[in-house]
Structure 1
Amino acid sequence: MIYKYKALSSDGKELRGQIDASDKSHAALKIRDLGYRPVKISEANILNKDIVLFSKAFNDKNLHIFLYQLYILLKSKIPIDQAISLLKDSYSNKRQKIIADIHKEIISGENLSKSLDASGSFPKLVTNMVEVGENSSNLPEVLNNLSKFYKNKVIFEQKIKNALIYPIILILVTFLILNFLVFNILPSFEEVFRDSSMQLPFLTRILLGFSRFIRDNFFIVSSIFIAIILALLVYFNSNKGKSFIERLKLKFDLYRIFLISNFVNMMRFLLKSNLTTARAIEIIADSNENESLNKDLQKVRQDIYEGLSLSESLKSSKIFSDFDISMIKTGEESSNILEIMDSISEYYEYKLELKQEKFISYFEPIMILILAVIVGFIVISIAMPMFDLINTI
Structure 2
Amino acid sequence: MPLFEYTGFDARGKKVNGVIEASGKKLGLQKLREQGIYATDLKEEKTVRGEKAKRSLTLFKSSVSTMELAAATRQMATLLGAGLPLDETLQTVSSQLENPTLGRTLSRVREEVVRGESLHQSLAGEGRVFPELYVNMIEVGENSGTLEQVLQRLADFLEEQVRMKSRLRAALAYPILMALIGSGVLVFLVTFVVPKVTRMLEDLGQSLPWPTLLLIRGSDLLVDYAWLILALLAAAVFAFLRYRRTERGRWQLHRLALSIPVVGRLNLLVATSRFARTLGTLLQSGLPLLAALDITRNLLQNQLLREALEDTAAAVREGEGLSAPLKRAAVFPPMLTQMTAVGERSGDMETMLFRVADAYDHEVELAITGALSLLEPLMILLMGTVVGFIVMAILLPIFQASQGIG
1:165 maps to 173
Q: 2:69 & 2:236 partners in 1: Cα distance? A: 35
Aligned residue number for residue 145 of structure 1: 153
Residue 368 of structure 2 corresponds to which residue in structure 1? 356
Larger deviation, residues 334-343 vs 66-75: 334-343
1:272 aligned residue (284, 291, 294): 284
Stretches of structure 1 that go unaligned for 5 or more consecutive residues are 1-8, 20-43
Cα 1:383/1:353, change in 2 over 3 Å: same
Kept in 2, the 8 Å contact 1:124–1:286? The answer is no
* In 2: Cα distance, 1:118 partner to 1:289 partner: 24
- Distance in 1 between the 2:153 and 2:146 partners? 11
Q: Does the Cα contact within 8 Å between 1:163 and 1:360 map onto a contact in 2?
A: yes
Instruction: Find the partner of 1:132 among 124, 140, 144.
Output: 140
Counterparts of 1:361 and 1:318 in 2: how far apart (Å)? 32
Native 8 Å contact 2:53 2:125 kept in 1: no
Please tell me the root mean square deviation across aligned C-alpha atoms, in Å. 3.1
The Cα offsets for residues 281-300 of structure 1, whole Å up to 9 and x where unpaired, read as 22212333333222222221
Equivalent of 2:256, from 248, 261, 267?
A: 248
Residue number in structure 2 paired with 1:68: 74
1:123 is matched with 131
Alpha-carbon offset, residue 169 of structure 1:
2.6
Shift in Å at residue 236 of structure 1?
A: 5.5
Structure 1 residues 247-266: Cα deviation after superposition (integer angstroms, max 9, x where no partner)? 33322111111111122222
Is residue 93 of structure 1 aligned with residue 100 of structure 2?
A: yes
Q: Does 1:17 align with 2:23?
A: no
* Counterpart position of 1:369: 381
CA contact (8 A) 1:125 1:286 kept: no
**Contact 2:275–2:296 (Cα < 8 Å) also in 1:** yes
Rounded Cα–Cα distance in structure 1 between residues aligned with 2:347 and 2:55:
43
* 1:260 is aligned to 2:272: yes
Deviation at 1:13, TM superposition (A): 5.5
How far apart are residue 276 of structure 1 and its match? Answer: 3.2
Deviation at 1:345?
Answer: 3.1
In the alignment, the residues of structure 1 paired with residue 220 and residue 327 of structure 2 have an alpha-carbon distance, to the nearest angstrom, of: 58
The letter of the residue matching 1:200 is: L
1:96 and 1:12 mapped to 2: Cα distance? 19
Check 1:176–1:10 CA distance in 2 against 1; reply closer, same or farther (3 A cut): closer
The 1:12–1:166 alpha-carbon spacing in structure 2 relative to 1, beyond 3 Å, is: closer
User: 1: CA distance between counterparts of 2:245 and 2:127?
Assistant: 19
Once the 2 structures are TM-superposed, how far is the Cα of residue 83 of structure 1 from its aligned partner? 2.5
Tell me the SS of whatever aligns to 1:119. coil
Q: Provide the rounded CA distance (Å) in 1 between the counterparts of 2:119 and 2:176.
A: 41
1:1-393 equivalences under 5 Å are 16-19=54-57, 49-50=59-60, 52=61, 56-91=62-97, 92-121=99-128, 122-215=130-223, 243-251=251-259, 252-393=264-405
Residue 311 of structure 1 deviates from its aligned partner by 0.8
The 1:98–1:269 alpha-carbon spacing in structure 2 relative to 1, beyond 3 Å, is same
CA distance in 2 between partners of 1:275 and 1:124 (Å) = 13
Give yes or no for contact 1:101–1:119 (8 Å, CA) kept in 2.
no
CA distances 1:305-342 after superposition (whole Å, capped 9, x unpaired): 21111111211224312332122212322334344334
Q: Distance in 2 between matches of 1:346 and 1:222?
A: 44
Q: 1:300 to 1:144 in 2, by over 3 A?
A: same
Amino acid of the residue matched to residue 277 of structure 2? N
Q: Distance in 2 between matches of 1:342 and 1:380?
A: 56
5+ residue gaps, structure 2: 1-46
Normalising by the residue count of structure 2, what TM-score does the alignment of the two structures yield? 0.76
Does the C-alpha gap of structure 1 residues 236 and 67 become closer, same or farther in structure 2, counting only changes over 3 Å? farther
For 1:342 and 1:14, the matched residues in 2 are separated by 35
CA distance in 2, matches of 1:241, 1:77: 53
Quick one: structure 1 residues 256 and 211, their matched pair in 2 at CA, closer, same or farther if it must change by over 3 Å?
same
Alpha-carbon contact 1:278-1:301 (below 8 Å) kept: yes
Does the Cα contact within 8 Å between 2:197 and 2:394 map onto a contact in 1? yes
* Per-residue deviation, 1:12: 6.0
Distance 2:217 2:395 in 1: 16
* Secondary structure of 1:16's aligned partner: helix
State the secondary structure of the residue aligned to 2:328.
Answer: coil
Contact 1:285/1:294 (<8 A) preserved: yes
In 2, the alpha carbon distance for the partners of 1:356 and 1:283 equals 28
